[in-house]
Structure 1
């Protein structure tokens, strides 16, 4: 049995249903990220697990125990919020000790645990400082220490990095993951940032409009998206409209040029409209022989981005973007120049549903 089990959870606010029959099983010690755009229901699920919201229907179990109707303090949950939520009138040490004092732990145990947490987050020197004397990254590390001090069964992280600048986000996400692994604590992380989700998680749960679109490892989510939404939301993607020319052989016509997939198109008939996707990194410049596909077009835009040159290639009705490394001894191509791009058959993602 999964350590955290969310079974057919639904949440309705008035006439609006924000979570629609979600099932999710999280193993002990696993780091699972709920990823999706604003309003998809990810934070509502987190709040229901924490006990801040009560499901309209469904069940939540932790370690086999039904906690659906328990109050937050009865669940032994640690939670880190986007806005830190530190008490401004308390020192760092007192903030970390707060939950322990509420639990009526003795003074020696509290002092020992606070010292342990400060060392864990690598901030032993700030114990007597106040939150306003800390940077944003330090405040969030203190918030993490406070959540972990009570030795929770589950750690919940609600977009904890979104208020920080880019460099601090990268550094802190690595620290959070290292702490989580060290403690082996079951963790649910909520974010709309795909890079955070892919870099930190054991599994990623992509959500849209209150439902789970796909659940899998970062490798599976990125390389084998099951729906058009997942393919377009996770990573940069080129989406092309095409029509089936031979379903059995996986042949598709895109802008008057034929490409071939690595396998047949089950259930597809000649003339059916469909959408295919290509990651920018799958595309190379030049004509390739053998089993690769080639598409001829014209360079539409060239953007110099330092180490990378981003090239947009237009066909008749559609276009793709690809990245090449900057080479100081080779000038980038120019707009209007004819060009051929190639890619492998296995690089084509055939998306569910007809193209828009």
Structure 2
């Protein structure tokens, strides 16, 4: 039995369904991210798990116990919000001690736990400071430690890094993941940032319009997207349209070129028009060994991104993005150049929708 079980979860607001038939099983110690755009339902699911929202239908079990009818303080959950929600009139140490006092812990136990939490977040010297005397990153670390101080069974993180600048976000997400691994606490992390989800998670739930479009490891989500939405939302993707010539054999026509995937195209039929996804790094300019599929196009623009150069090429009525490593000795093409785009047919993914 999974540590956290969510079954057929639904939530309606004034007749509008914002979460529909959501199912998820999370194992003990697993780090799972809910990834999706604003309004997709990810925070609503998190709030239902926390007890701040009541499901319209469905079941939530934590460690085998049905918690749907329990209040938030009865679920043994730690939660960290986007807004740090620290008590401004309390020091860092007092903020960390607050939940422990409410739980009726002894003075000695409170002092020991506060000391442990300050060491965990590497703020041992700042225990007597007030929140306004801390940086944003430090405040968020205190909020995390306060949630962990009460030894929760489940940790919920609702976009905790979105208010921070880029460099601090990268540093803090590494710290959060290291702490989570050290404590082996089951964690649900809500974010709209794909890089956060890909770098931190054991598994990712990509949400779209109140539903889980795909669940998988970061490798699976990025390399094997199942729908057009997942393919376009996670990373940069080229979505092409091909006509199926022989579905069982994997043969199709793409902008006049006949290609063979070398595998069945699944449930599609011969004659169907299918959506095919190709990552920018899978395609190359010119003729390349191991990439027999070739399309001719015209360079629309070239973007220098430091270590990577992104070239956009128009093939037929479609624009393709190609990524290649910057090489000082090799000049990139110019807008208006006619070029050959090559790739391996097996790099193409057939999208379910």
TM bracket (short chain): over 0.9
Aligned length: 353
Which residue of structure 2 lines up, in the alignment, with residue 41 of structure 1?
41
Which residue of structure 1 lines up, in the alignment, with residue 3 of structure 2?
3
| Alignment partner of 1:17 is 2:10 | no
Measured after TM superposition, the shift of residue 289 of structure 1 is 5.4
Which residue of structure 1 lines up, in the alignment, with residue 249 of structure 2?
249
Measured after TM superposition, the shift of residue 241 of structure 1 is 1.6
Where in structure 1 do 4 or more consecutive aligned residues deviate above 4 Å? none
Q: In terms of mean alpha carbon deviation, does 12-21 or 159-168 score higher?
A: 12-21
Kindly indicate whether the alpha-carbon contact (under 8 Å) linking 1:288 and 1:294 is maintained by their aligned counterparts in 2: no
Which residue of structure 2 lines up, in the alignment, with residue 214 of structure 1?
214
What is the SS of the residue equivalent to 2:264?
coil
| Alignment partner of 1:106 is 2:106 | yes
Decide whether aligned partners of structure 1 residues 89 and 344 sit closer, same or farther in structure 2, where only a CA change above 3 A counts.
Answer: same
Measured after TM superposition, the shift of residue 323 of structure 1 is 1.4
* TM-score for both structures, normalised by structure 1: 0.96
Distance of 1:147 and 1:346 partners within structure 2: 46
What is the SS of the residue equivalent to 1:170?
helix
Measured after TM superposition, the shift of residue 12 of structure 1 is 1.0
What is the SS of the residue equivalent to 1:306?
coil
RMSD: 1.3
Q: Give the gaps of 5 or more residues in structure 1.
A: none
Which residue of structure 1 lines up, in the alignment, with residue 303 of structure 2?
303
Q: In terms of mean alpha carbon deviation, does 337-346 or 90-99 score higher?
A: 337-346
Distance of 1:308 and 1:59 partners within structure 2: 46
What is the SS of the residue equivalent to 2:73?
helix
Measured after TM superposition, the shift of residue 251 of structure 1 is 2.1
Measured after TM superposition, the shift of residue 290 of structure 1 is 6.0
| Alignment partner of 1:124 is 2:124 | yes
Which residue of structure 1 lines up, in the alignment, with residue 352 of structure 2?
352
1:173-212 to 2 correspondences below 5 Å: 173-212=173-212
Decide whether aligned partners of structure 1 residues 133 and 290 sit closer, same or farther in structure 2, where only a CA change above 3 A counts.
Answer: closer
Q: Give the gaps of 5 or more residues in structure 2.
A: none
Kindly indicate whether the alpha-carbon contact (under 8 Å) linking 2:291 and 2:343 is maintained by their aligned counterparts in 1: no
Summarize deviations over 1:161-204 as a string: whole Å, max 9, x none.
Answer: 11111111110000000000000000000001111111101110
Which residue of structure 1 lines up, in the alignment, with residue 165 of structure 2?
165
Distance of 2:111 and 2:57 partners within structure 1: 42
Measured after TM superposition, the shift of residue 316 of structure 1 is 1.3
What is the SS of the residue equivalent to 1:302?
strand
Distance of 1:214 and 1:97 partners within structure 2: 40
* TM-score for both structures, normalised by structure 2: 0.97
| Alignment partner of 1:340 is 2:340 | yes
Kindly indicate whether the alpha-carbon contact (under 8 Å) linking 1:204 and 1:217 is maintained by their aligned counterparts in 2: yes
